Amino acid sequence: MKLLIMGRPGAGKGTQAAKIKEYYNIPHISTGDMFRQAIKKQTKLGLTAQEYMNKGLFVPDELTIGIVKERLSEPDCKEGFLLDGFPRNLVQAKELDKILEEAGIKLDGVLDINVDGQILIDRMVGRRVCKSCGASFHILYNKPKVEGVCDNCGGALIQRADDTLETAQNRLKVYDDNTAPLLEYYREKDLLLSVNGNQEVSKVFEDIKEVLSK
């Protein structure tokens, strides 16, 4: 199964992607994870990407396209994949079409997790991440046992620079301006599969399985 997963920032793409990866046994290709790994290693790509991500902006097309093309050429993608965080605009979507065509790959569907704006703001601003192991918590929905302390390793929980209120609002605006038009693009290709992301995580996943079964 060859899929894209879409949704505004904070929609729960990462959570649902992990479930899809396990259930359908396909690799989850997250551009965000790839960039964060590059940032952690302090590579040239990572440092450049960090400047954009800290401002809530998208990483430039040429950087993103290069890293995605390389990843899709790896052997584990031959039987299927779940692409997360790419494409983010029509230029990238058309570039992805070329990459897939050259590889003889056809998409099976584009999942869109649809969530109300205020819910997204609450989700993003309340997120806390462990500075040591990267585990994720939330001040409302997934509280640690001890405030500010990671349940897993005891490390300090921090708010990422891209999870402040100002940055969260900017991320939503950037998404709506650049990425929302892709919904119509994929709808016209008869690939768009929308699910209600305002529900509990388990219910969202049940809906995803239902639309994918069709």
- Residue 164 has phi, psi (to 5 degrees) of -75, 160
Q: Which of 2, 88, 123, 128 is catalytic?
A: 88
CB of 113 closer than 8 Å to CB of 120: no
Q: Which amino acid is at 179?
A: T
Pick the closest to residue 3 from 15, 14, 17 (CA basis).
Answer: 17
Q: How many beta carbons lie within 10 A of that of residue 57, not counting itself?
A: 15
The per-type count for the chain, helices as H runs and strands as E runs, is 9, 8
Cis peptide before 144 (omega within 30 of 0): no
CB of 32 closer than 8 Å to CB of 38: no
Residue with tokens 């290693």: 41
The SS3 call for residue 99 is: helix
Q: What does DSSP assign to residue 200?
A: -
Q: Which of 2, 8, 123, 127 is catalytic?
A: 127
CB of 192 closer than 8 Å to CB of 186: yes
Q: Which of 2, 123, 128, 171 is catalytic?
A: 171
Q: Is 171 a catalytic residue?
A: yes
Q: Is 36 a catalytic residue?
A: no
Q: Is 13 a catalytic residue?
A: yes
Q: Which of 13, 40, 123, 214 is catalytic?
A: 13
Please name the residues in contact with 207: beta carbons below 8 A apart, sequence gap of 6 or more.
Answer: 195, 196, 199
Q: Is 71 a catalytic residue?
A: no
Positions marked catalytic: 13, 88, 127, 160, 171
